[in-house]
Structure 1
């Protein structure tokens, strides 16, 4: 794989990682409720989920997904249900940012890893992203080295991006400002997550 082709892959992966969506909402919640380490754990669990889609595309399973609407719809509905569940939880402040900050509680690392991984694995947008864009790079790189680079690139970029998000959100100055608006953040996160879930269902 040439450097120019790899840079194109990097650019595509950066755009995919930086686009706002449910993943960003989850990173915000865990960085605030749990702290820096929890945000970073959620970030790299999310990155591994992204890597799963990269591997599936590489193995050609993405083609099966594209040709099996029922399978894709199943993943999409499961993702929508999970988003809605997170949204309702956040609005009710049941384990949300406001509740945990008020009680001095933290989310566990396991919860952070679970939500980070699930929000990527059950996100149908990722499947579309890799089907539409990522697969073209798979066709270019056929040797083991190229394929390893193709899989590792989106994992590393996604993990680094959300690590930066976690570091920024968990800085003492930023955290103090956000703590004062914790209830509002809970409500907004909940509304965004439910809205994203509804959009997935409507689009099917």
Structure 2
């Protein structure tokens, strides 16, 4: 892959990763409610899901999404239901203090965080269509194994690096102190955002 093409790919990856949406909301939620590590694990598992879409893209399998509107709808609705469930949890958040707060903070396991990140990525067929629309220019017939590897790894690494950075920045110093002080309202706001994103999928 020529260096100029790689820089173009990198720029598109950065814009896609930084665009606010359900993925960012879930990473924020797990970072604030549980720990920096929970947020990082969410981000890394999300990157694995995005990397899988990138792999399917170079294998030509993402075309199946474009040709199967019913499959897209089914996956979209499954993702919307999952967002509704996460949003409901946020709306039901209650203030906790003292020892109970510490217990609440560690209720979710790292496996739960990994599940959240992976499902948010995989249950969003628009990610696959995004690859089809924007990344098709980089996927060419007869691509070498090196070029395919660069394509997939760049997309996954950029996505993971962005969300790991978000989790790392928000989990230290004054940021974390402020977020923890307003944790209930932050979680409820994130819950509303997730529910609105889910409703948008149902109404689309």
Which residue is equivalent to 2:201? 200
Which residue is equivalent to 1:159? 160
Write out per-residue CA displacement over residues 53-80 of structure 1, whole angstroms, 9 at most, x where no aligned residue: 1011111111111001111111111111
Which residue is equivalent to 2:69? 69
Which residue is equivalent to 2:129? 128
Q: Identify which range, 82-91 or 104-113, moves more after superposition.
A: 104-113
Which residue is equivalent to 2:48? 48
The answer to whether residue 85 in structure 2 is matched with residue 85 in structure 1 is yes
Cα 1:89–1:45 change in 2 (3 A) is same
Which residue is equivalent to 2:5? 5
Aligned residues: 200
RMSD of aligned residue pairs (Cα, Å)? 1.7
> Deviating runs (4+, > 3 A) in structure 1?
98-102
8 Å CA contact 1:86–1:193 kept in 2: the answer is yes
Task: Give the 3-state SS of the residue equivalent to 2:57 in structure 1.
Answer: helix
TM-score (structure 1 length as normaliser): 0.93
Alpha-carbon separation, structure 2, partners of 1:100 and 1:34? 14
Cα 1:37–1:100 change in 2 (3 A) is farther
Cα 1:99–1:66 change in 2 (3 A) is farther
Residue ranges of structure 1 left out of the alignment (5+ in a row): none
Cα 1:186–1:118 change in 2 (3 A) is same
Alpha-carbon separation, structure 2, partners of 1:31 and 1:201? 28
